[in-house]
Structure 1
Amino acid sequence: MSKPSTGTPEEQRDRRVLLTVHTGRRDVVALAQTSAARLIRGGIGVKILEDEAPDLDIPGAEVVPCDESAAKDAEIVMVFGGDGTFLRAAELARYTDAALMGVNLGRVGFLAETEPEAVEETLSAIEDCEYSVEERLAIRVDVLDRAGTVVGGTWALNEVSVEKAERSRVLDVVIAIDGRPLTSFGCDGVLCATPTGSTAYAFSAGGPVVWPDVEALLLVPTNAHALFARPLVTSPNSVLTVAVPADGNRARVSADGRRTVEVPDGGRVDVRRAGRPVRIARVHSATFGDRLVAKFGLPVRGFRDARHAGPGHELFTSRNVLDREVVDVDGLDAGGTTREVSGGGTYDDA
């Protein structure tokens, strides 16, 4: 993790921030406009993408093509949107030294650094260079044909999904780690994920949550027809191979849900650590554990908060997920019938 230097006054005047915005929502556009205006007033140049420029209409902003040169000379790529917008921005920042900083305006926004109500604090941190930069492991993907010739490739920040091309058929795969066959099964697909992506598609498929500063690769089968098809966590230097038999179903690769590559009949997909990490800027001191609790609404009250009703009886509080009120056994009278509890809710006799 590194922290940028404040630099000389001349260097400060040359600072630039690229905005990437979910322009389909009016409130997102308005927040991006006010943020851009503040950065410009503070002497920081603002760049916007040419396909977003008409919707943003930001006076004084530099309009740039939406390609690999967009983030050139940018210090920060500031993202206004959800994780989908963030992943799009990662494509633009991929081959530059720009760090990604997200403002969550989506539903979960696990990749974002801040919520809309803390934007002013985030902008102040950018102006004063008071942020740190995390380097997140990314993965490189090579698609090979039956002869072992590389015929395509891509990269991902979250995950690569090797998935069946025909929904009505099962995808047969052979899994190998570091060139050694491990197992084979039929499935809907196989996910190869980074620690950053462990809370995305891989999480939904039953994979483990891995802290982002842990260097590792994940392999998670999806809907496998097998007794041994467990998620695997390997060395960050391993090569994960998903081979597709020539007589099996057609397969394709989806990277971060944004880029696709077809897998030839009898081909294979090799996944390894990318040579270049993705840089993510952080302002707040919240840990990854804090993010898990906040994003997933995890209960943090444990057995030590249990209520005791006599020897041998531990009566735990429970949460009514419909009205989000905490109810407990005090809501039951001696006869086991329902009576009113604090907050106006009721506890129904099971």
Structure 2
Amino acid sequence: MSEAGQAAWGPGGRRHVLLAVHTGREDIVDLARSSAARLARAGMTVRVLEDEAEQLGIPGAEVVPADADAARGAEIVMVFGGDGTFLRAAELARYSHAALMGVNLGRVGFLAETEPEAVEETLTAIERCEYSVEKRLAVEVEIVDASGDVVAGTWALNEVSVEKAQRSRVLDVVIAIDGRPLTSFGCDGVLFATPTGSTAYAFSAGGPVVWPDVEALLLVPTNAHALFARPLVTSPDSLLSVAIPPDGNRARVSADGRRAFDVPDGGRVDVRRAARPVRIARVHPATFGDRLVAKFGLPVRGFREARRHDPGQELPPSRNVLMRDVVSVPAPGTAREEVHGGAADHDA
């Protein structure tokens, strides 16, 4: 689900952009500073987080505490860093109308919208409100004790992980869907993931890749000792539960790898769709399939089209589908045609 940037932000009043920056690298800090200067020249108010302000040293920036009010009234939360920085920024943007715009300066950076070389194009889109906003499903979590009382709660954009507290012992779990028991087994843990998180921890655990506009919840066991321990894809309105027997191993809950809680003996973890989605701004027209190809370096030519014997058939490193470069495969003995945003170049 998406909406136009102009519709999401009215033209009246001063526009605010909050920066969330991985300040541990000087190149990231320099890029954040230059981006802030350009946004300020365009008449936008730049906010920085209190714990990052000194390292960023951006003149004229509005300094705000890193709490639930940091992004209130902001149009964009611009993230400079990897997926970890993006998830930290999502905590700030969650209870506001602000959309997250990520510049990938990490490794894979699946949540980010753009790469560093395309920052100027991204800033132009922000200035002109030429972006769309995707609404990504998030999940809410409740930790329930043996008497049925809720003792803790949190939320996640990617996944909730229920893990064994003692590495030397197997975690016994009972899985229930919509309050009805489904199966039980011993395992290292259970993942409850969103479509956005299907390319994160759940992907590493053997879960399916789900397109982010699909509304669904994922349940992925990790290292389960059972025949029926396959990843499950359920309705987005389902209630997913995992109960921990009182005589079993202790368990803990981790939300997006950032917020952790212990599960009481004989307790239960309930996961359901969150009432509020997370808003992510998009500038580039690349599809999710394009992102999979670019981020994972997937082969796209097909083995039957190859006329060589080496194993690699990936796109050349200089080509990036996120930058709208398309490489076509020529027939044997013909010239190669490369298409760059609609213009064709012919090489002999």
Q: Same fold (TM over 0.5)?
A: yes
Matched residue count: 313
Q: Using the alignment, how far apart are the partners of 1:158 and 1:73 within structure 2?
A: 25
CA distance in 2, matches of 1:303, 1:34: 44
Task: State whether residues 306 and 317 of structure 1, in contact with CA within 8 Å, keep that contact through their aligned partners in structure 2.
Answer: no
Please state if 1:157 is matched with 2:150.
no
1:66-121 C-alpha deviation (Å, 9 max, x unpaired):
11110011000000000000000000000000000000000000000000000000
Q: How does 1:112-151 map to 2 (within 5 A)?
A: 112-151=112-151
Structure 2 match to 1:63: 63
Matching of residue 319 in structure 1 with residue 312 in structure 2: yes
Which residue is equivalent to 2:267? 267
Task: Please state how far the C-alpha of 1:304 moved relative to its aligned partner.
Answer: 3.7
Identity of aligned residues (%): 79
Q: What is the CA-CA distance between 1:168 and the residue it aligns to?
A: 1.3
SS at match of 2:54: helix
Distance 1:149 1:50, change over 3 A: same
2:291 corresponds to? 291
Q: C-alpha offsets along residues 25-59 of structure 1, whole Å, 9 cap, x if unaligned?
A: 00000000000000001100000001000100000
Match of 1:3 in 2: 4
Shift of 1:317: 5.3
- C-alpha separation between the residues in 2 aligned to 1:202 and 1:8? 38
Q: Residue 318 of structure 1: CA displacement?
A: 2.0
2:225 aligned partner? 225
In the alignment, structure 2 segments of 5+ residues that lack a partner are: 318-348
- Deviation (angstroms), 1:306: 4.4
Following superposition of structure 1 onto structure 2, how do residues 1-350 of structure 1 map, counting pairs within 5 Å?
1-5=2-6, 10-11=12-13, 14-307=14-307, 318-319=311-312
Whole-angstrom distance in 2 between the partners of 1:175 and 1:276: 25
Could you say if the C-alpha distance between residues 141 and 63 of structure 1 is closer, same or farther in structure 2, counting changes exceeding 3 Å? Answer: same
Separation of aligned partners in 1, 2:275 and 2:70: 21
Q: Which moved more, 1:295-304 or 1:240-249?
A: 295-304
Q: Distance in 2 between matches of 1:316 and 1:181?
A: 52
Q: CA deviation at 1:320?
A: 9.3
CA contact (8 A) 1:166 1:250 kept: yes
> Contact 1:303–1:316 at 8 Å: present in 2 too?
no
Q: Match of 1:150, as an amino acid?
A: V
Residues of 1 paired with 2:244 and 2:187: CA distance? 11
Q: TM-score, normalised by structure 1?
A: 0.87
Find the residue that maps to 2:203 and give its secondary structure: helix
Alpha carbons of 1:9 and 1:143: their partners in 2 closer, same or farther (altered >3 Å)? closer
The secondary structure found in structure 2 opposite 1:95 is: coil
Residues 267-326 of structure 1: CA deviation (Å, up to 9, x unaligned) = 00000000000000000000000000000000001144045xxxxxxx8652299xx9xx
1-structure distance, mates of 2:230, 2:284: 35
**Secondary structure of the residue that 2:172 maps to in structure 1?**
strand
1:43 alignment partner AA: G
Q: Which residue identity does 1:177 align to in structure 2? A: I
Kindly indicate whether the alpha-carbon contact (under 8 Å) linking 1:243 and 1:266 is maintained by their aligned counterparts in 2.
yes
| TM-score scaled by length of structure 2 | 0.87
> Structure 2 CA distance, aligned partners of 1:320 and 1:272?
41
Q: CA deviation at 1:222?
A: 0.5
User: Aligned letter for 2:69?
Assistant: S
Q: Which runs of 5+ in 1 are unaligned?
A: 308-314, 325-350
Distance (Å, rounded) in 2 between the aligned partners of 1:175 and 1:69: 37
Secondary structure at the counterpart of residue 208 of structure 1: coil
> Equivalent residue of 1:120, what SS?
helix
| Larger-gyration structure (1/2) | 1
